[in-house]
């Protein structure tokens, strides 16, 4: 049996994507808008997506579709209930970002903890050149050693982030859900993690239960010296509450790689935050060259495993 395989978002991966090793017809598009999905997937048995929305009303118009390969770990763009009802397999990517996302998280943490952006602005403004001493102290600098790292999410990325934190000499607390948990991960109540963390880093999926997990009440419970880091999903944090918290000094700073709406358009409030204690990067924590190639290879591995009747990494 020959399959039609369609990749709707080829430009979302900057890596070599090999063709599946079975008889197939291949079609790919740099990007795809919502009104193009049904037309482009006519006759397709396999679709490869990243963030394209595949909801029940769309899936109902694709009778030939049998497998969805998501080129990401998060699969909230797919209606999983509808896929179960229609007999469509859904596979995601596992463990591809266990180095790149934790490293990006700590790039944000270190930049904020040591006020790198603020000091760079001072140098660019000529303040160092005017100093009478060999250095000047216009912003606080704090070590990571001896501080507390709170992590929401006990998966591979959360655990890899914890390992880096421990290497810096940080005390690590995990708050996700009550036991049973991953072996070796001790549960700490969410409220305790909020209160004790010097850095709170989010590494959990976006689900109805975790949407707006961090709102103004949670931000009020954090230390005023604490940092909030989000390299997971934008919807985990109430963005209006974050702005309020930064304006009122409820937390010391925040580093985000994700927003609720992506790509953001002009007028998005977090785009307007021109302050050294807030860093926003354009959803690139996952995107090291090594991680993207690993992802691209596993994406096709998942399709080939499904075609052979031994599916892997299924979420349905």
CA distances from 140 to 119, 134, 137 (A): 10, 17, 7
Catalytic hit among 3, 40, 104, 283: 283
Q: Known catalytic residue: 55?
A: no
Find the Cα–Cα–Cα–Cα dihedral 71, 75, 76, 77, rounded to 10°: 40
178 neighbors 229 (Cβ within 8 angstroms): no
- Helix 100-113 to helix 116-124 angle (10° resolution) is 60
CB burial class (10 A; 0-12, 13-18, 19+) of residue 254? buried
Distance between CA atoms of residues 108 and 170, nearest Å: 16
Instruction: Tell me whether residue 24 is one of the annotated catalytic residues.
Output: no
Distance CA 4, CA 27 (A): 8
The single residue of 262, 272, 275, 290 carrying the catalytic annotation is 262
Tell me the angle at which helices 100-113 and 156-167 cross, rounded to the nearest 10 degrees: 40
Query: Which class for 183: exposed (0-12), middle (13-18), buried (19 or more C-beta within 10 A)?
Result: exposed
Query: At 271, phi and psi to the nearest 5?
Result: -70, -20
Non-local (6+) Cβ contacts of 105 within 8 A are 161, 201, 203, 229, 231, 255, 285
Whether 304 is catalytic = no
Choice among 40, 233, 239, 313 that is catalytic? 233
The catalytic site residues sit at: 233, 262, 283
């Amino acid at each position: 049996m020959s399959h039609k395989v369609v990749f709707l978002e080829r430009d979302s991966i900057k890596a070599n994507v090999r063709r599946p090793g079975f008889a197939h017809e291949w079609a790919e598009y740099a990007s795809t808008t919502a009104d193009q999905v049904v037309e482009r997937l006519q006759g397709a048995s396999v679709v490869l997506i990243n963030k394209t929305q595949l909801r029940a009303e769309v899936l109902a118009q694709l009778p030939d579709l049998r497998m969805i390969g998501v080129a990401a770990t998060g699969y909230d763009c797919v209606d999983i209930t509808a896929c179960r009802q229609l007999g469509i397999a859904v596979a995601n990517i596992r463990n591809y970002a266990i180095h790149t996302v934790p490293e990006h998280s700590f790039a944000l943490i270190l930049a904020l903890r040591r006020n790198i952006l603020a000091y760079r602005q001072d140098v660019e403004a000529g303040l160092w050149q005017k100093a009478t001493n060999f250095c000047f102290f216009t912003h606080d600098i704090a070590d990571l050693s001896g501080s507390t790292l709170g992590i929401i999410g006990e998966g591979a990325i959360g655990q890899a982030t914890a390992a880096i934190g421990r290497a810096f000499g940080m005390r690590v607390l995990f708050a996700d859900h009550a036991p049973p948990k991953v072996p070796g991960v001790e549960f700490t109540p969410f409220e305790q993690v909020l209160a004790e963390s010097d850095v709170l880093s989010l590494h959990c999926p976006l689900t109805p239960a975790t949407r707006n997990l961090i709102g103004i009440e949670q931000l009020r419970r954090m230390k005023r010296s604490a940092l909030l880091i989000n390299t997971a999903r934008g919807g985990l944090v109430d963005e209006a509450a974050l702005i309020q918290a930064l304006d009122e000094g409820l937390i010391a700073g925040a580093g985000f790689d994700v927003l609720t709406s992506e790509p953001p358009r002009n007028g998005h409030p977090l785009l307007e935050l021109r302050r050294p204690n807030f860093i926003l990067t354009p959803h690139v924590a996952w995107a090291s060259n090594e991680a993207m190639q690993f992802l691209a290879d596993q994406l096709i591995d998942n399709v080939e495993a499904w075609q052979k009747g031994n599916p892997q990494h299924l979420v349905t």
